[in-house]
């Protein structure tokens, strides 16, 4: 058997994998990225016209990562001339019973983030598109923006190649096994021996990790969203309609609204409500009962939405029990870096997470605060590692 050789191999070509390959190549490292489908495919977690980027988080370490991500995406724009960030302002809305609202307010204050607190009347004065329940209030933050998601992934992949990375599409990784002096990677096109591996396989991570002898408590959820027609589309463009996260009390499920950009209609989603699915389940069928629930929710809060659905889309969330990421080196085989982002909220941080993964793969440590994302934290205490 012919064994191919590589310095660093990145497994998975979503936003995290492409960002890791970009940073590795830009820093002068020899890197090969393996993607089982094609860059930009619609079967995982990184596709679609838009994603939200914000610094509205309950803890200061996430705010720091968010600030770094804003800077990173702007740097990539400057390097390439691409428009990746679409400023539009945004707000978290909720009731006094939504605990996360109080936590975000306090974190804003601690970290010096400028924000405004708006009552229901002020929200509806500024944004008359909304019809909100009594008692609703908002934390408005002007930095909220959209990322042109598909363009972000494509740009990272293109720039990784420009800096010397090799991207191989249509290569299925079958197993990853530590070996003397590195890692042996079994693929559909033969064996590759690498010095180091960065695993960013999204919803396909858990099966690969189990073959490695590591069992993480990851749950893959099939989520969906819809684009709704508006009676007055001109009222829903960036600058006139904000990004919105609706925080419900007693649950981590959230509703979200996006201005119309890169796609006809207003993007609306209620997330963390989809079923758990197997990583390799090919079914991406839209659940009609969840779609009807979404229609009722969207038209109740934004009456100008007609209820006519222009398009629907499904995606995969790979969830940890605490909804924080896993960004760490394997406890027994430090030449293997494990990234299980993103529990539904990691795309925005992809440019920074890629830098972190490159640091871990090449230097064994990073200057970013990633203590929250360690493999040995209590929420991942069920992790079992034994070489097979």
Domain stops at, among 298, 319, 340: 319
Is pLDDT of 185 > 80? Answer: yes
Chain segment 311-336, per-residue pLDDT in tens: 999 999 999 999 999 999 999 999 99
pLDDT at 381: 66
* CATH code where residue 22 lies: 3.50.50.60
pLDDT at 386: 30
> Does residue 314 share a domain with residue 230?
yes
Radius of gyration over alpha carbons of the chain, in Å? 21
Sign of CA dihedral 272, 274, 275, 276: negative
Cα 85 from Cα 295, distance rounded (Å): 28
> Does residue 225 share a domain with residue 157?
no
Chain segment 364-380, per-residue pLDDT in tens: 999 999 999 999 999 99
Cα 7 from Cα 38, distance rounded (Å): 22
Nearest-5° Cα angle at 346, 206 to 116: 150
Sign of CA dihedral 149, 151, 157, 162: negative
> Does residue 326 share a domain with residue 191?
yes
Average pLDDT over the chain, rounded to an integer? 94
Chain segment 338-370, per-residue pLDDT in tens: 999 788 899 999 999 999 999 999 999 999 999
Q: Is 63 a member of any domain?
A: no
Give the DSSP H or E segment for 245: strand 243-247
Nearest-5° Cα angle at 321, 315 to 322: 100
Q: Is 59 a member of any domain?
A: no
**Count: domains in the chain:** 2
> Does residue 232 share a domain with residue 133?
yes
> Does residue 365 share a domain with residue 302?
no
> Does residue 308 share a domain with residue 170?
no
Cα 24 from Cα 75, distance rounded (Å): 16
- Domain containing residue 359: 3-46+150-214+321-385
Domain stops at, among 319, 347, 374: 319
Cα 301 from Cα 129, distance rounded (Å): 8
Q: Is 61 a member of any domain?
A: no
> Does residue 312 share a domain with residue 290?
yes
Contact 53, 66 (CB under 8 A): yes
Tokens of 204: 């396909």
* CATH code where residue 285 lies: 3.30.9.10
Domain stops at, among 263, 288, 319: 319
* Cut 0.85: pTM above it: yes
Q: Is 68 a member of any domain?
A: no
Chain segment 44-67, per-residue pLDDT in tens: 999 999 999 999 999 999 999 999
pLDDT at 6: 86
Nearest of 187, 152, 203, 159 to residue 24 by alpha carbon: 159
């Amino acid at each position: 058997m012919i064994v191919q050789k590589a310095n660093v191999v990145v497994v998975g070509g979503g936003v995290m994998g492409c960002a890791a390959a970009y940073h590795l190549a830009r820093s002068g490292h020899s890197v090969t990225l393996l993607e089982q489908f094609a860059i930009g495919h619609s079967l995982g977690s990184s596709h679609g016209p838009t994603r939200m980027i914000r610094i509205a988080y309950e803890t200061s370490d996430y705010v720091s990562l968010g600030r770094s991500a804003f800077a990173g995406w702007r740097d990539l724009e400057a390097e390439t001339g691409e428009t990746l960030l679409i400023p539009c302002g945004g707000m978290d809305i909720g009731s006094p019973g939504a605990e996360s609202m109080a936590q975000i307010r306090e974190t804003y204050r601690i970290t010096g983030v400028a924000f405004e607190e708006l009552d229901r009347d002020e929200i509806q004065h500024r944004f008359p598109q909304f019809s909100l329940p009594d008692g609703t209030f908002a934390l408005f933050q002007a930095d909220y923006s959209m990322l042109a998601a598909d363009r972000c992934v494509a740009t990272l992949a293109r720039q990784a190649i420009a800096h010397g990375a090799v991207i191989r599409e249509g290569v299925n990784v079958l197993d990853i096994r530590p070996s003397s002096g590195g890692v042996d990677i079994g693929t559909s096109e033969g064996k590759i021996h690498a010095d180091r591996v960065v695993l960013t396989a999204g919803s396909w991570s858990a099966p690969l990790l189990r073959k490695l002898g590591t069992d993480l408590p990851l749950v893959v959820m099939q989520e969906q969203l819809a684009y709704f027609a508006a009676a007055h589309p001109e009222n829903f463009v960036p600058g006139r309609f904000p990004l919105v996260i609706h925080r419900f009390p007693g649950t981590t499920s959230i509703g979200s609204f996006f201005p119309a950009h890169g796609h006809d209609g207003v993007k609306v989603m209620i997330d963390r409500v989809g079923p758990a699915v197997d990583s390799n389940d090919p079914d991406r069928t839209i659940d009609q009962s969840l779609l009807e629930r979404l229609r009722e929710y969207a038209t109740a809060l934004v009456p100008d939405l007609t209820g006519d659905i222009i398009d629907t889309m499904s995606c995969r969330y790979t969830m940890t029990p605490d909804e924080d990421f896993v960004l760490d080196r394997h406890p027994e085989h430090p030449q293997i870096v494990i990234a299980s982002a993103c529990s539904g909220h990691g795309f925005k941080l992809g440019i920074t997470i890629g830098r972190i993964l490159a640091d871990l793969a090449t230097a064994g440590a990073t200057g970013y605060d990633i203590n929250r994302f360690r493999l040995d934290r209590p929420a991942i205490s069920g992790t079992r590692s034994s070489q097979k």
